[in-house]
């Protein structure tokens, strides 16, 4: 059986690690996985998950999506291999009142979430085009479809990713290259732990109006309850990626959760946006005051 070659970015933890492990451990050995990450030292987690090395099905590569040289080296490493599936999964988060988001933090976020995806696709797309075959899967977010409070810059980066991929999918259709966005909701990964956000009692909040400070505290409590009660495990999300890899004609968009589907439908039924803004505000901040 001819194996499917898959390259995944952001494999040091979370969805990337879980997907790489699932594919590499496939009992029929259908996949050859290039699991990439910025810091190779973190590759031990992936090898531990698999119980040791899997030389026939897994190769761990260094790849930093913000470094063109690193991308070129990774592309050179897989040159000559038929790359069937590219999974752009690397991403970072940024939460907090807009006034607390520094220029550097915002630039870093876009450099990973948007420009990192662009660079990665640019590195591997020409070979797919020349073969007139392949598929690209991009980890997006429900925050790429609808604005979430205190996630303005993160949502902006994911909105941009959505526009990038929707536009690109139109052009790639004649090349038989399928592009799929996987819109994830809250997932139990290291993403929340590593998320850059100001301490509500910290110095970054000094000078911010009291009302916004109160709203931010309420939002953090809301997030805690969401992750406690409704967040998915990585294993619950992986079938969406597996379907995008295996389906003969995968869709442009796949949602891993229906958590905010009613609010998404509200955006469509009330195009001027006012109903969505009210509903989201009431969902997060309704009830008692700060």
Residues with catalytic roles: 154
24 is in an annotated binding site: yes
169 is in an annotated binding site: no
Q: Give dist(CA 274, CA 250) in Å, integer.
A: 33
279 is in an annotated binding site: no
35 is in an annotated binding site: yes
30 is in an annotated binding site: yes
Q: Where are the beta strands (DSSP E) in 28-105?
A: 31-37, 58-62, 85-88
36 is in an annotated binding site: yes
229 is in an annotated binding site: no
CA angle 77, 80, 57 (to 5 degrees): 65
38 is in an annotated binding site: yes
Q: Which residues contact 200 (CB under 8 A, 6 or more apart)?
A: 213, 216, 217, 220
Q: Give dist(CA 180, CA 136) in Å, integer.
A: 6
Beta bridge partners of residue 59, listed in sequence order: 34
13 is in an annotated binding site: yes
Tell me 3's DSSP state. Answer: P
136 is in an annotated binding site: no
Q: Give one DSSP letter per residue of 215-229, joined into a string.
A: HHHHHHHHHHHHHHH
Which positions make up the binding site?
Answer: 10-38, 64, 141, 158
Which positions make up the binding site for substrate?
Answer: 141
Which positions make up the binding site for NADP(+)?
Answer: 10-38, 64, 158
């Amino acid at each position: 059986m001819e194996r499917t070659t898959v390259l995944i970015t952001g494999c040091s933890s979370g969805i990337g690690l879980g997907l790489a492990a699932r594919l590499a451990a496939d009992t029929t050995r259908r996949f050859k996985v290039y699991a990439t990450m910025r810091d190779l030292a973190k590759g031990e987690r992936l090898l531990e998950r698999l119980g040791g090395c899997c030389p026939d099905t897994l190769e761990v590569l260094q790849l930093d999506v913000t470094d063109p040289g690193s991308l070129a080296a990774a592309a050179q490493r897989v040159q000559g291999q038929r790359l069937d599936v590219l999974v752009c999964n690397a991403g970072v988060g940024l939460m907090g009142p807009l006034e607390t988001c520094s220029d550097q933090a915002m630039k870093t976020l876009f450099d990973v979430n948007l420009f990192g995806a662009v660079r990665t696709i640019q590195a591997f797309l020409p070979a797919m085009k020349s073969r007139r075959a392949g598929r690209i899967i991009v980890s997006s977010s429900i925050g790429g479809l609808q604005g979430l409070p205190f996630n303005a810059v993160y949502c902006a980066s994911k909105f941009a990713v959505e526009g990038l991929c929707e536009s690109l999918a139109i052009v790639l259709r004649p090349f038989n290259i399928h592009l799929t966005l996987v819109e994830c909701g809250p997932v139990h990964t290291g993403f929340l732990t590593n998320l850059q956000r100001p301490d509500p009692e910290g110095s970054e909040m000094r000078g911010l109006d009291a009302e916004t400070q109160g709203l931010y505290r309420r939002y953090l409590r809301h997030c805690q309850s969401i992750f406690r009660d409704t967040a998915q495990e990585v294993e619950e999300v992986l079938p969406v990626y597996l379907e995008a890899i295996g389906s003969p004609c995968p869709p442009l968009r796949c949602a891993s959760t229906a958590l905010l589907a009613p609010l998404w439908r509200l955006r469509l039924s009330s195009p001027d946006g006012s109903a969505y803004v009210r509903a989201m505000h009431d969902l997060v901040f309704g009830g008692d005051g700060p």
